Structures are given as structure tokens and as C-alpha cells.
Structure 1
Amino acid sequence: MKLTVTLDRDEDGVWVVECPSIPGCVSQGQTREEALENIRDAITACIQVRSERGLPLTIETYQVEVMA
């Protein structure tokens, strides 16, 4: 399964990564690589829990670029 994630740095320099198509699926890491590795684990866990609870595995999201 191929999913889009977002990466941001917080005020302490920690990388925060989120999978918008799985509500509440967020992780972090000291490096980008660590954060991406951690979100893979989080995605697996979130999908397992959603499956066990009979919830949709993902929700529909769109990625759109806008000029500002």
C-alpha cells in the first residue's frame, strides 16, 4: 500500500510525520530517516487497529498545490 505522509520539524528540531489518510496516525524522530521508519510502524499498527474495530482502513484525502 502506498500512502502519502507529511514531514515537519517542530520548534525543538524533532521531525514530526503524519499520514493524513489514516486519522490519528502520527509519529516522530530525531532525523528524517528515523521519522519515516517510525511512521511505517505506526501505519501498520493503525491499520491493524482500524481493521479490528471494523473501521475503514483509510479515508479519502487530496493533495493540492495552491499559489499564495
Structure 2
Amino acid sequence: MSYRIRLLETEEGWSVSCLDLPGCHSQGSSREEALANIREAIALWLEVEAEEGGVRSVETLELAI
């Protein structure tokens, strides 16, 4: 599954948000680090959502960017 993200370059580095998952944000000092961090944030977001929703298993797929 693919997720839409928004990358913003700031003076401190890169900020990234997943537009499809409310509250799913991350950052990094480089673009590559920010992308790696949002992949992890998405996986964790989905895991928590599954736990709260009573889902028995979560499958994590690679994010296409």
C-alpha cells in the first residue's frame, strides 16, 4: 500500500507528514533520514491502530515514494 506524504525543508532539516494517517509525523536532518523515519512512523501508527481496533495482525509493506 502507498501513502501520500508531504515533505517540508526547514532551517532545522526536513519535516514529513503522512497525509493519509492523522497525527503521523516525523522529521530528519536529511531528506533520506526523514523518509526513513516516516516509514517507521507509518508502521507504528498502523500497529497502534490495529491494537486499538482489535485487529489480530498487522502487515507492514514497503512505502513507495
Give TM-score, length-normalised by structure 1: 0.73
CA RMSD of aligned residues (A): 1.4
Moved over 3 A (4+): none
How far has the Cα of 1:13 moved from its partner? 3.1
1:16 aligns with 2:15: yes
Q: Which has the larger radius of gyration?
A: 1
Q: Deviations over 1:4-37 (max 9, x none)?
A: 1000023x33100000110110000000000000
For structure 1, the 5+ residue unaligned runs are: 56-68
Match of residue 58 from structure 1: none
Q: Name the aligned partner's letter for residue 6 of structure 1.
A: R
Count of residue correspondences: 54
For structure 2, the 5+ residue unaligned runs are: 55-65
Match of residue 3 from structure 2: 3
Q: How does 1:1-68 map to 2 (within 5 A)?
A: 1-10=1-10, 12-54=11-53
Which structure's residues are more often strand, by fraction? 2
